[in-house]
A = this chain, B = another copy of it.
Amino acid sequence: MTEKADPSPAAIKAWARLMRVSRQLVERAEDALKDGGLPPLAWYDVLHELAEAGEGGLRPFQLIERTLFAQYNISRLLARLEADGLVEKLRVADDGRGQTVRITGKGRETRRRMWAVYGRSIAELVGAKLSNDDLDTLSALLGRLRHPAMPE
């Protein structure tokens, strides 16, 4: 019976805050990267996943699962990263359709330089605003908003 109910005021407020705050924070993190002459956040997300994945690399569709970017978006983002020499694409033996994407040394270096700025943004924008207990509470609440069957 709660199927089509209008949202409660509390839900609307939480939604509005979530939308507004997340946009603000993204914008500020992006600005910090730009000011540092560094690539946008999206590049970091991909480089981060690839760095975690190690030498084995990842298939593009695995990046899609992990980052939530659209397929065409990953396809073109990888093309740009490759053009910049930050990743390399390798034919994969057992699947003629696909490829494996691996981060390069230059890619790791770029990721490190981005993290110096990005990590600082996170520390300032979030770490400095809430105690660790509050941060954990926030993480837990946000975790309950994830779509079912989402990793991490």
Q: Which residues of A contact B (CB under 8 A)?
A: 2, 4-8, 10-28, 68, 119-120, 122-123, 125-130, 132, 134-139, 141-147, 150, 152
Contact = CB atoms under 8 A, between A and B. Distances in A.
A142 B21 CA distance: 7
B145 A129 contact: yes
B127 A7 contact: yes
Contact of A4 (B12, B120, B134): B120
A123 to B, nearest CB: 4
Contacts of A141: 130, 134, 137-138, 141
Nearest to A45: B19
A79 B5 CA distance: 34
A22 B22 contact: yes
A143 B25 CA distance: 12
Given A11-B122, A141-B141, A24 B68 contact: yes
Contacts of A126: 7, 11, 14-15, 18, 145
